[in-house]
Amino acid sequence: MYERVIIDAGARSALSAHVNAEPLRETGGILLGFEVDERTLRVTAVSPPGPRALKMPRAFRRDTKFLQRWLERRHELSDGRDDYVGEWHVHHALDAPPSCVDCHALWCIARKPNYPTGTPLLIIAEDVPGERRVRGYRFGGRPKWSYVEVTVS
């Protein structure tokens, strides 16, 4: 089970652009990538929220239909290497860990057979004026979630 996450520089830039686009509301999407080795998960792409996403000051719901197509296209373009590895969204606060709603959503994903991972990653971009942090949380194993180190390559 991975303990650390490397985000490709291009994916990190995409994440920043999506966060910049929504200074007041939450936004988010899905993460694509692959396991480099037993300890390391590499994130290669960060999706946009999709045109029908629900973006509110303290809640977010992604546009699942849009993201399914986005995922399939990227999966093919990478010759099957990149697949769904988790979710991301913004919290407009610092030191803002996963909420109860977040935890429930990620535990469901970990258990569902139609998702290709049993240990989904949640990236939370903590965004307030003048400061931004990116934090990673791994779900589905034991303990029920753990903090994982996130670096940009």
Residues contributing to the site for Zn ion (CB under 5 A): 99, 102
Closest CB to Zn ion belongs to which residue?
Answer: 102
- For residues 100 and 92, give the distance between their C-alpha atoms in angstroms, rounded to a whole number: 16
Q: Give the DSSP letter string of 59-127.
A: EEE--HHHHHHHHHHHHHHTTT--EEEEEEEEESSSS----HHHHHHHHHHHH-TTSS-SS-EEEEEEE
Give the shortest CB-85-to-Zn ion separation in angstroms: 18
For residue 18, give the nearest of 74, 87, 65 by alpha carbon. 87
Give the shortest CB-28-to-Zn ion separation in angstroms: 8
Considering the complex, state which of residue 37 and residue 131 has its C-beta at the smaller distance from Zn ion.
131
- Three-class secondary structure of residue 41 per DSSP: strand
Give the shortest CB-73-to-Zn ion separation in angstroms: 27
Considering the complex, state which of residue 103 and residue 152 has its C-beta at the smaller distance from Zn ion.
103
Give the shortest CB-61-to-Zn ion separation in angstroms: 11
Give the shortest CB-51-to-Zn ion separation in angstroms: 21
Check if the beta carbon of residue 119 is closer than 8 Å to that of residue 109. Answer: no
Check if the beta carbon of residue 102 is closer than 8 Å to that of residue 46. Answer: no
Considering the complex, state which of residue 82 and residue 127 has its C-beta at the smaller distance from Zn ion.
127
Considering the complex, state which of residue 74 and residue 89 has its C-beta at the smaller distance from Zn ion.
89
Considering the complex, state which of residue 68 and residue 99 has its C-beta at the smaller distance from Zn ion.
99
